[in-house]
Each structure stands twice: as structure tokens, then as C-alpha cells.
Amino acid sequence: MHRIFLVSPASCVGKRADLLLRERASFDLATRLRSPAGVPLGDVFAFLSGLYFRGKLAYARAFACPPARLPGVYVITTSRGLVLPEQPVRIDDLREFATVDLHAGNARYRTPLARDVAWVAERLRARAEIVLLGSVASAKYVDVLADLLGEQLRFPIDFVGRGDMSRGGLMLRCVRARTELAYVPLAGAPRHGARPPKLPRLPRTG
């Protein structure tokens, strides 16, 4: 079965974003972000979010199974709909992302996302899965995606009850073990639950 992943974004506000967007920032990522070439969106969001986004992106890249001529991984953004993780972004792009409230009722967020999700859905067969790697406990993604995708929209059932760091760690373990999570249709599935036990520590490498 073909499978495409939609990866929720990193926040472009907060301490790590302030560090990256600071005018005098001179570390490598900040310098490249100010260059004409920019930096791949996935690299920037991995810096902003840390373990959670790294886990989502690594997992999506490991287990995506798209049809021919269609990417397997898309990143949700606050103002530009779906963007490929390899797409270069620059500092002005991040500043724009930071100004848009990620809320299902915000047209600046919802309209481009709905447009791009509809475009992807039109190019997939009915049996293909579109898996959301992001929070299903709130309406910010679910209310937009569920209306467009219905039963085609799925999510990892093991996300229920976990916080961001736990999800990230879980996905990195799955990549290492080459073991895929179980996906369930979002419609009718439990979106809240008890917190599961802590994950065991990963063994040291090297």
C-alpha cells in the first residue's frame, strides 16, 4: 500500500527560535540561514524542535512508500501549506512562519494547507494512506485534514497519551529497529489516553 506522511511543524517562536533569528547569531546554521542558498526546512525545524522533529522526519523518511513521481514526506507549515523537508528556507521565511497563528480557524494557515492536501489526495489512489505525524489531541491539524481526507487519514495509535519527547524517542527507536508503528484511521479513534510507561534508554553507540 502506498503511504505518505504529513509531518507537523516546529514552533518558530521561543528560545531556540530567538537564538536562530538573532541578528548577531554567528553559528553555522544561523549563518547559512542568512545566505542566498538558505537551509533545508527539515534541518531548520530539527534545530528548533530537537528530538521530536528529528524523530518524525527520520521515521517518515524511513517508512514512506509513495507512488511514482510523488514525494513521500511533506512538512506542514503555518502559512505555506505543505512544504518538502528538502526545500531551502531563509530567515525571512522563518519570520513569516512565526507571525501566523497555527489554528484551524485561521485562514492564513488553513487555506494553503487545504489546497495542498487536496492536491496530494487527488494524486493518490483511494487505498493509499496519509499518515499524520503530529498531535491529534488538538484541533489544529485534525479539523483541517479530517474534512479533506476522511478515512484515508491515519495516525500512529501509539501516539495517544505520549508527549512530544516520548513520540520523538519512540520514532527514533522504530527507525533503528526497522519496525513500523501501527496506524489507525483518525475518524472514531481515541485521541486522548493515559500516559504510557517511559521508554527504555537507547543503548550507547560508538
Strand, coil or helix: 41:
helix
Stretch among 8-22, 99-113, 182-196 having the lowest mean pLDDT = 182-196
Cβ atoms 202, 176 nearer than 8 A: yes
pLDDT digits (tens, 9 = 90+) for 112-170: 999 999 999 988 877 789 999 998 888 899 989 998 898 889 999 999 888 889 999 99
Residues of the chain with pLDDT > 70, as a percent, come to: 91
As a whole number of angstroms, the distance between CA 181 and CA 63 comes to 10
Q: Mean pLDDT in the chain?
A: 90
Q: Provide the strand spans (E) within 45-193.
A: 73-76, 82-83, 88-89, 129-133, 153-156, 183-185
Domain ranges of the chain: 3-185
CA distances from 112 to 33, 50, 90, 104 (A): 24, 26, 19, 12
How much is the pTM? 0.91
Q: For residue 41, name the pLDDT band (cuts at 50, 70, 90).
A: very high
In angstroms, what is the C-alpha Rg of the chain? 17
